[in-house]
Structure 1
Amino acid sequence: MELHQLEYVVAVAKHQSFTRAASEINISQSSLSQQIKKLEEELGVKLFERTTRKVKMTNAGNAFLAHAQKVLMEINQSKKTIREYLSVSRGRIKLGVLPVIGHFRITSLLANFQRNYPGVKMEFREGECNELLQMVMASRVHAAFISEASENPHINIHRLIKDHAVLVVNSMHPLAARDSIELAELAREKFILAHPSSGLYKNFAKACAAAGFEPDILYHCNQVETSLELVRENLGVTVLSSQVAQRYSKRDIAITKILPEIPRRISLVTLKDTEHEPVVNIFIKYAVNWASELKKQNQ
């Protein structure tokens, strides 16, 4: 008895036809019939009743089929286990990341994953949200960390980190002493903001429109350090994610909460309806569990 004979029995039982079964498993009908006959002779029983119109399982055939399916399932599971082992022992995962990803402790996630799976090689490609989303859609990366992921029929979204936007002003600015400020009060300010393709800019511009004004933008800048230096020179105010702002020196600047709150989220996105390598699925599960534990620690 050989493994392929079990597969042939399952295929014939599924289609109740030697012709359709042979087509599915890509062999000739005569070869399929010979293999089934050989197996029946070895077992000493008929597995199928053949008529001119269809093929029907015998009682012995039904009993054998259940065991054949179980054996094939266990073999497939064994193969999957070995693939996963090989994947995490010498696999590769390509990740898209935002320039500010380190401020959201994602680097801690990556380091922890690497320590747990030292055989996995990680490759990183940096970009803004739209660029990263296109990388995922084109399968240039297996997954990407992006902010403000919107619903997309082709994308799986795993939400990891929740944050909010804050206002950063010069320490001598009239708003520096405020703990919070209504967004509408900022209508006359000059802004230093991230590039329009960034998730932060899109969320802020949308919130400003809801508050009844369009921000007066002095300068678009994706470098946080540059934005803060311009604020220190009192050339304007900027808007950053709270976790990003807290990472920098508070020299000559003040951080104020914006009301109503402008949410910021970091999500891991992957291409939907795609059979990923085992290492990719392991990474996704690891990232989701990591975010869940981080949320518990912050409660």
Structure 2
Amino acid sequence: MNTKQLQYFLATAEQRSITAAAKKLDIAQPAISLQLANLEHELKVKLFERDFRGMTLTETGIKFEKHAKKILMQIQIAKSDVTQSENECLGKVVVGLSQSVCNVLSMELLNEIEHRYENIELTFRVGPSYIVDNWLSENKIDIALCYDDSEFLDSKANVIELIREDLFLYISEKPQNPAYSELKLYSAIPFVDLQNYEIFMPDKQDALSKLLVQTADDSGIKLKTKDAFGQMMTTLHFVTQGLGLVVCPSSSTFHLEQSKHIRGIKIVAPRLQQKVHLIKAEQIESNSAVDAIFELIREVTASVHGKNDWRGTLLDKKYYLPQVIDIETFVEG
């Protein structure tokens, strides 16, 4: 049973004719006939008496008419309630995040806001992890996406563990340096083997840089590094041209992987991951717009993870949907 069947049923009951109901609803007559037949088959009852005078409701049909009206009324009330609630969300929301996270979330977030929250203005402040922390402490942003070493993880702020992202060694599909050629054959590489290659490294204060240095120290090796460019996309441009290697999450590179400009090699022994947290600024007490964006980030994260654009372990399961092969089995289950 669906709302379309209920609408067609009520229109036919009112007009006492499928032809008249079709004209009122401005749809084809066979469509109404099919939906009414499906409805009677599902309910296993006869809803209409059909004769030369038209269509009249049976006693069962009269009872069902009352329920159909109530159902459609409740649906309309629910729609109005939700629409009103979302329309009440208004104002400016500032989100601080890294370049890689912005790369994977920004377009999805803006598209969803356009359809759901037309009165919310979303602004991104993009910078290294330690700068995002500074913005949060200085109350310059409403929401932050931070990493493991953030000073705010033990605070009273609203913190959610979002995802533990996998880190990969990225190489061009057409490396210019002969030393990189053998890497084209690798699907995975032990962390200690990274010492054999020169790698672009972000600012020493950045969470990713700290993780790489700490893991190298724990593994008893020293990485050969060169300074990355200020902008992530500039560094990635050099990598796609076959002029260097970089370690970063798939959130930075998924679009380049899809276009076959770059390829990720999984880092193992140990598996290299960093945890991303979603944090609401402490000064935010009750703000419907901030709350809406906070929830939307959780939802969009689950979506891009499900599409394999942001790879790793999804920690926030609120909006997680398992991959379904048999949709009918999933719906019935």
When normalised by structure 2's length, the TM-score is 0.56
SS of 1:141 mapped into structure 2: coil
| Distance (Å, rounded) in 1 between the aligned partners of 2:104 and 2:241 | 27
Find the aligned partners of 1:257 and 1:241 in 2 and give their Cα distance: 10
For the residue of structure 1 that corresponds to 2:99, the secondary structure is coil
1:164 maps onto 2:172 in alignment: no
Where do 1:44-193 residues align within 5 Å?
88-148=88-148, 150=150, 151-170=153-172, 171=175, 172=178, 173=180, 174-193=182-201
Quickly say closer, same or farther: Cα 1:102–1:284, change in 2 above 3 A: closer
| RMSD over aligned Cα atoms | 3.0
| Inter-partner Cα distance in structure 1 for 2:251 and 2:161 | 16
Please say if residues 189 and 236 of structure 1, whose CA atoms lie closer than 8 Å, have aligned partners that are also in contact: no
Aligned in 2, Cα 1:130/1:286: closer, same or farther, shift over 3 Å?
same
CA contact (8 A) 2:98 2:129 kept: yes
The answer (yes or no) to whether the contact 2:97–2:126 under 8 Å persists in 1 is yes
User: Are 1:266 and 2:276 matched, yes or no?
Assistant: yes
Structure 1: which 5+ residue stretches go unaligned? 1-80
Residue among 298, 312, 322 paired with 1:288: 298
Count of aligned positions: 216
Q: Secondary structure at the match of 1:118?
A: coil
**In 1, Cα distance between equivalents of 2:264 and 2:222:** 22
Matches of 1:233 and 1:92, distance apart in 2: 39
Match of 2:252 in 1: 244
Measured in 1, the distance between the counterparts of 2:86 and 2:237 equals: 48
State the SS of the aligned residue for 1:269.
Answer: strand
Contact 2:198/2:224 (CA < 8 Å) preserved in 1? yes
Unaligned runs of 5+ in 2: 1-80, 307-319, 324-333
2:288 to 259, 278, 281: 278
Aligned residue for 1:210?
A: 218
Match of 2:136, SS?
helix
Deviation at 1:256, TM superposition (A): 1.2
Residue 175 of structure 1: SS of its match in structure 2? helix
CA contact (8 A) 1:149 1:157 kept: no
* Aligned-residue offset at 1:233: 6.0
- Aligned residues of 1:191 and 1:238 also touching (Cα < 8 A): yes
Bigger Rg, structure 1 or 2? 1
CA deviation string 1:244-282 (max 9, x = no partner) = 23321544x543111121113433212347514232123
Matches of 2:296 and 2:125, distance apart in 1: 20
* Post-superposition offset of 1:192: 0.9
Compute the displacement of 1:112 (Å): 0.6
1:86/1:218 Cα in 2 relative to 1: closer, same or farther (>3 Å)? Answer: closer
Query: d(CA) in 1 for partners of 2:283 and 2:141?
Result: 15
CA 1:156 to 1:210, structure 2 compared with 1: closer, same or farther past 3 Å?
farther
Query: What secondary structure does 1:264 align onto?
Result: strand
Q: Percent identity of the aligned residues?
A: 18
Task: List per-residue Cα deviations over 1:99-153 (Å, max 9, x = no partner).
Answer: 2334323430243134211011223322211111121122111112234464332
Judge conservation of contact 2:105–2:300 (CA < 8 Å) in 1. Answer: no
Report the alpha carbon displacement of residue 298 of structure 1 after superposing the two structures with TM. Answer: 6.4
User: 1:167-207 CA deviation, whole Å, 9 max, x = no partner?
Assistant: 12353512221111101112232111222232222222222
Q: Is the 8 A contact 2:90 2:289 kept in 1?
A: no
Q: What is the CA–CA distance in structure 2 between the aligned matches of 1:177 and 1:91, rounded to whole Å?
A: 51
